[in-house]
Structure 1
């Protein structure tokens, strides 16, 4: 079964690293990449068949916190697991994402191996191992 993932990141390098981690998982994937929160919400409202959303917090137009609020407030989207990917080391940001419905929070690490291990662990919770 093909899994469908939405990557929301305004930094192309980070989006590509996230794509590589997804592609290294055993499940077959269809990957959609958008670069701001407004595009993410438009894509989610158009296509509700995503199996996971990989969401950066610091986005242009609509930030990741607002995207999380929208996802959790709509019954047709609230079942989609969201993994927040952020360079934030702020514990308040981590807690806020949980309150808003994120399934996990992965810090963007400078070391790709560390990032890959953490994101793979998070993805495994939602059937992407």
Structure 2
């Protein structure tokens, strides 16, 4: 089963770590990476067949909160699960993302193993299997 993920992150290193976790999936998938919220919204309006969006909050042009608002307000996008990936340790950010429709919030950990475990757990809720 082919799965399609959209990674929205302005930091290439963080986007690559997220791709690495996705590559550990035990089935085929397609990954599209964009570096700002404006590009993410363009991509989602153009192609809304994503199985999951992995969204950073601190983005140029349009921040992650605005992207979440747009996704949740459009019937053709609101069924796409969104997992927020953020270095924010602020509890109000977690609550705000949930209110705006995010399915989960994963902290970008300095330790790759911790990040991978947390993201793997979140992805498994949406049918992404891992080897």
2 CA distance for matches of 1:104 and 1:128? 14
Residue 27 of structure 1: how far off its partner (Å): 2.4
Q: Which runs of 5+ in 1 are unaligned?
A: none
Match of 2:52 in 1: 52
Aligned to 1:100: 100
Deviation at 1:26, TM superposition (A): 1.3
Q: CA deviation at 1:114?
A: 0.2
Coordinate RMSD, CA, aligned: 0.4
TM-score, with structure 1 as normaliser:
0.99
Unaligned runs of 5+ in 2: none
CA distance in 1, matches of 2:69, 2:122: 20
Please list every run of at least 4 consecutive aligned residues from structure 1 whose deviation after the TM superposition is greater than 6 angstroms.
none
| Secondary structure of the structure 2 residue equivalent to 1:27 | coil
TM-score by length of 2: 0.98
Deviation track 1:28-62 (CA, whole Å, cap 9, x = no partner) reads 11000000000000000000000000000000000
Question: How many residues align structurally?
Answer: 129
